[in-house]
Structure formats: C-alpha cells, structure tokens
Chains A and B, each alone.
Chain A
Amino acid sequence: MTEQRERNLERMDRAFKVLFIVGFILELVVAALVTGNTATKPLTAQQVAAVGIIPVILLVSATVVYEQFPYSVLGKPKEEKQKEVKARS
C-alpha cells in the first residue's frame, strides 16, 4: 500500500468511528423519545423501526468504508501474511 492510500484509509476509519459514536448516541435519544421514556408499555413496530434504521445505515456505511481496506489475517494484508509464513517455513 502506498503511504497516500494508507493515510486516506486512516482518515476514512477515523471518520467512520465518529459517525458510529454519533449514530449510537442518536439511537439512544431516538429510543427514549419514541417510547416517551416508558418502562412498561410494549414496544410497537414503528418505535423499533425508528431505532433499528440507525444500525442499518451504519452497517451499510461501514461496509462501503471498510471494503476498501485490504483483506487481512492477524492484522496484516493476506498476501503480506502469506509471504511472512512462507519465509518462516
């Protein structure tokens, strides 16, 4: 990987992490708002959908971001790891 590409991936990683934290806080806020902070009333489909859409959006975003990272094993890109194993043996 070139240095420039590595820097871009790092930036995307950081940006997604921020998005995740914002999304998680938003999820809690939406859950509290749509349920009226109730403790006992059974949940409705609309309430769960309003909260459940957030992880779906985050998963789609994460997939778009992280599929650009190299396929890795033990934290190293697979080709690099294979070379290392071959060299060891």
Chain B
Amino acid sequence: MITFTAPMWVGILIGFVIGAAAEAWGIANPETLIRLAKWEDRLFVICIALGLAISTPVLFGLYALGIGFHFSPKPLYLVGVGLGGVLFGAGLAIAGYFPGSIWMALGEGRRDAIYALLGALLGAASWTALFQTSAGQWLVKTLNFGSLVIGGKHVSAFVIQPFSGLTPVDLFGISLVYAIGLFLVAYYLPRYKGGTRSCIRENIERRNTPLEIQKHLDTAIYLTDGALPYSQTSLAKKVNEYYATESNVTRWFMVSVAGIVGLTVVLEMFLHQIFGESTTYSWIVGQLFMPSFTYSQIVFKGIGWEPFSDIGTLMGAFFSAVFITRRFTSFRNIIPPSWASRFGSNQALRFVGSFVGGYLMLFGARMAGGCASGHILSGDMQMALSGLEFTAAVFAAMIITAKVMYK
C-alpha cells in the first residue's frame, strides 16, 4: 500500500484552499447559514452533495488501487452523536456559524464572529468538564458500535476492513451508488425556496425564473453589504454577481468550487488526516485553562495539524475577501438581515445570539466527536455511519429551530 505523511505546516496550505473556496461560496457570512436553516437557500447542501459525489468515489477508487489514506471515521455512539447533532443544529440556526465558518468569518472581518468564537470556546470548555463525569462517559459509551462505514469498519491506520465477503473494489462500487444519490440531490434540489433549478441546472439550461434572479440579487446584496468597493470590470464583480455576468467560465467556477473542496479533502486524507475544525477549540481551552482534564489530555495526544489548518482556513478566507470577492468588512457592525428583521439591529442582542449559538454548536460538536467538517464533510465522504447520523440530526434540529426562531 502506498502511504505518505506530510509535515504539519502543509496543513496551513490545505486550510487555505478550503477557506478561500468557502468564502467565495459565501459560507463565511452568517446570513447564508441562517437562510440554510430557514430552508430558503440550499447552496450549502447542493455544494456539499456535489463535492461528496465527486470525491467519495475518488477516495474509495484510489483505496481499491492500493493508495493508503489516513482514514478516521468517527465512532458511532448513537446517543452522544445524535444529541450532539441536535445541539449543533440548534446553535447553527441561532448563530449562523459552524466551527470552521467562524474562522472564515474572522478572515472576512465580521464582528459577530468574535462573539461566536467566545461562545464556542465556552462550549468546548463545558464538554471538557462534562467528559470525565459519569454523564459524559454515558453519552460516549452507550450504544457505541465503533468506527463503522457503509460496507466496512475502520480497524487501523490506513485500513478500512470491508465486511466479510466484500473487497475494497466492492466498497468502490458502493461509493458509486452513494455518489449517484448525492449527485441527484445536487442536481434536482432547487437552490432557492420557490425556485425551480439547482445551481447545476441553472448553468446547464442557462435559464432562471424571475424569482431566482431576484433571489440571486438579494444574495449578492447581503454578501457584499459593508464590504469594499469594486469596479465594474473586476473579478469581484464577476464572483459576487455571477448570475448577472455573461461569463460562463465564472458561473462554472462557482459550481466547480464544490469539487475543489471535496478533492482537497481527499488530498488532505492522503497527506495527513481528515479535515476537522472543532478539535482546535478544545485544544485551545485545554492549553489555556484546563490542561489537567482527561479530555484535554486526550486532545493533546491526538491533535494533528488542526490548529494549523484552522489558521490556514482563516487566511484563505481573508485572502479571498481581500483579493477576490472584496467582502472584507473591517469588523463593522453588520447584523445578518434575517436576524435584523426578527430581532432588530441591536448589537447587544446579536452578541447574545452569536454567543449562545456558538456555545451550543461547539458543545454539540465536541459531544458528537466532530462538526460540519469532521462529520458532515470528511465523515460523509468516508461513508461513516456516525457522519450520516450527525448530518440527519443537525438538519432536523436546524430547520426546527429556525422555524421557531425566525417565524
């Protein structure tokens, strides 16, 4: 089996690519994720589904050919992963952030990301304290079935052992069926509530309904609110207002970003590890305040290049916000429109919302053993059952919370 382990500093480059791509998507902006929670704008679902549809068969295809990856599907402990997913989804709907997007938003100069960061650190500290109690142990040990993936089990470094009677080639076959399912979601799920086409179909059919054009304009307005000026001929104009430009290259670039992210995670798994962003929060609180706690000790021993890839994520989004999209907002007081229309533009109230949302989201992520990156992106890419359970719990809780909060 061909294997390789890259030096730690390479994590900065990997995080950089993912951060830059995600910022161009608009995921650093909390309004994007609040609209996802309200099920009004499904760009995140479409991009993740497309990214997974491209990268999962590549991952398992290369594995069947004898390439070794640093697989790390999270263990499936039903209670902790499910409850963690519910808390994560609720927090995401309130704050409009997940762990990685906080770093991206800081790179975009968003003030409320600072509040979310503080809440997230407290959430990580709470799980560190809870972990060594009997309640914490019950959450991670009850109904724990180990690191299962569809068709196999992670047994050691570089090895996913297919279930009896199956081979790595069969896993590749399963990944193809899985990818087709995800591609159909990406192809048929309309991007906007009330719209008829996904991003892919918009590009293929080269048509939009008047409502979709209006929604695209509305999206571009909130993404660039409080940002930097740009000229009519700039790259920023094309990236922010790609629906309005005639360049099909730009339009396809926006869709291909999904594939770039997915394949970057495959590369990361070959080089060093899965893509994860929430462990860093536990690592920071452990280093600063709770070094002797059992959970901190586990994190210190197991930490990979996550702190570096998180720094890279921030830098990638920062780069994109200054050089490409011009969405750097200089930490101005910008309240997400969905939040403002429900709760007003009071800065203190937004602080509370970002802080509480960040707290719930990180507490849930650590309880479940991963977040949108470790479970939804990397976990679902490995066809991990824990990732699929987490994804379902997050989406259910996120949609219900948003329905109650933003009605």
Chain A residues with CB under 8 A of B241: 74
Contact B308 A31 (CB under 8 A): yes
Q: Any chain A CB within 8 A of the CB of B195?
A: no
Contact-residue bracket for chain B: 35 or more
* Complex interface: chain A residues within 8 A of B230 (CB): 72, 75
Q: How far is the CA of A42 from the CA of B307 in the complex (A)?
A: 10
Q: Are B303 and A20 in contact (CB under 8 A)?
A: no
A20 to B397, CA, bound (A): 39
Contact A66 B328 (CB under 8 A): yes
Q: Do B240 and A51 touch across chains, with their CB atoms under 8 A apart?
A: no
CA distance A17 to B321 in the complex (A): 11
Q: How close is A73's CB to chain B, nearest CB, in angstroms?
A: 5
Q: Chain A residues with Cβ under 8 A from B236's Cβ?
A: 75
* Contact A58–B240 (Cβ < 8 Å): no
> CB distance A63 to B330 under 8 Å?
yes
A40 to B378, CA, bound (A): 20
Query: Cα distance A37–B226 when bound, in Å?
Result: 40
Q: Is the CB of A62 within 8 A of B322?
A: yes
Bound CA span A58–B305, Å: 22
B268 to chain A, nearest CB (A): 13
A22 within 8 A of partner (CB): no
Compute how far the CA of A32 lies from the CA of B300 in the bound complex, rounded to whole angstroms.
20
A76 at the interface (CB under 8 A from B): yes
**A35 CB to nearest B CB, Å:** 5
- Complex contact B221–A38 (CB within 8 A): no
A75 touches B300 (CB 8 A): no
Distance between B303 CB and nearest chain A CB, rounded to angstroms: 5
CA distance in complex: A59, B329 (Å): 11
**Are A72 and B229 closer than 8 Å at their CB atoms?**
yes
B292 at interface, CB cutoff 8 A: no
* A48 close to chain B: CB less than 8 A: yes
In the complex, the answer to whether A52 meets B9 with C-beta atoms within 8 Å is no
Residues of B183-225 whose CB lies within 8 A of A: 220-221, 224-225
**In the complex, what distance in Å separates the CA atom of A43 from the CA atom of B279?**
13
Q: Do A43 and B305 contact each other (CB < 8 Å), given the known contacts A38-B7, A75-B230? A: yes
Considering the chains assembled together, what is the distance between the CA atoms of A43 and B226 in angstroms? 37
**A59–B228 CA distance with the chains assembled, in angstroms:** 15
Q: B328 — which chain A residues lie within 8 A by C-beta? A: 62, 66
Assess whether B224 is in contact with A72, with CB atoms less than 8 Å apart: yes
Q: Is B319 among interface residues, defined by CB-CB distance under 8 A?
A: yes
Q: Which residues in A have their C-beta under 8 angstroms from that of B12?
A: 27-28, 31, 51
Query: Given A41, A59, A71, A72, which contacts B109 in the complex, CB threshold below 8 Å?
Result: A59
Interface residues of B in 286-334 (CB under 8 A from A): 287-288, 300-305, 307-308, 311, 314-315, 318-319, 322-323, 326, 328, 330-332
Q: Which of A17, A24, A40, A71 contacts B332 (CB 8 A)?
A: A71
Q: With A17-B323, A74-B221 given, is the CB distance from A69 to B8 under 8 Å? A: no
Q: Is the CB of B318 within 8 A of A75?
A: no
Q: Which residue of B lies closest to A67 (CB)?
A: B330
Find the A residue at minimum CB distance from B237.
A75
Decide if B240 touches A74 in the complex (CB within 8 Å). Answer: yes
Judging by beta carbons under 8 Å apart, are A40 and B330 in contact? no
**List of B residues within 8 angstroms of A38 by Cβ:** 7-8
Q: Is A31's CB under 8 angstroms from B9's CB?
A: yes
Q: Which of A45, A52, A69, A75 has the largest number of chain B CB atoms within 10 A?
A: A75
- Which residues on the A side are within 8 Å of B224 (C-beta)? 72-75
CB-CB < 8 A to B303: which residues of A? 42-43
Whole-angstrom distance between the alpha carbons of A42 and B273 in the complex?
Answer: 13
> With the chains together, A81 CA to B328 CA distance in Å?
18
Indicate which residue in A20, A28, A55 contacts B9 across the interface (CB closer than 8 Å): A28
Contact of A75 among B9, B234, B305, B332 (CB under 8 A): B234
Q: List 6 other contacts, CB 8 Å, given A43-B307, A74-B241.
A: A28-B12, A31-B12, A42-B301, A63-B109, A66-B228, A74-B221
- Name 30 A/B residue pairs within 8 A (Cβ), A-sorted: A20-B318, A20-B322, A27-B311, A31-B9, A31-B12, A35-B9, A37-B9, A38-B7, A38-B8, A39-B7, A42-B301, A42-B302, A42-B304, A43-B303, A59-B106, A59-B109, A59-B318, A62-B109, A72-B224, A72-B229, A72-B230, A73-B224, A73-B225, A73-B226, A75-B228, A75-B232, A75-B234, A75-B236, A75-B237, A77-B229
The 5 closest A-B pairs by CB, nearest first: A31-B9, A75-B230, A67-B330, A45-B287, A48-B307
What residues make up the interface of B, taking CB atoms closer than 8 Å to A?
Answer: 5-9, 12-13, 16, 106-107, 109, 220-221, 224-232, 234, 236-237, 240-241, 272, 287-288, 300-305, 307-308, 311, 314-315, 318-319, 322-323, 326, 328, 330-332
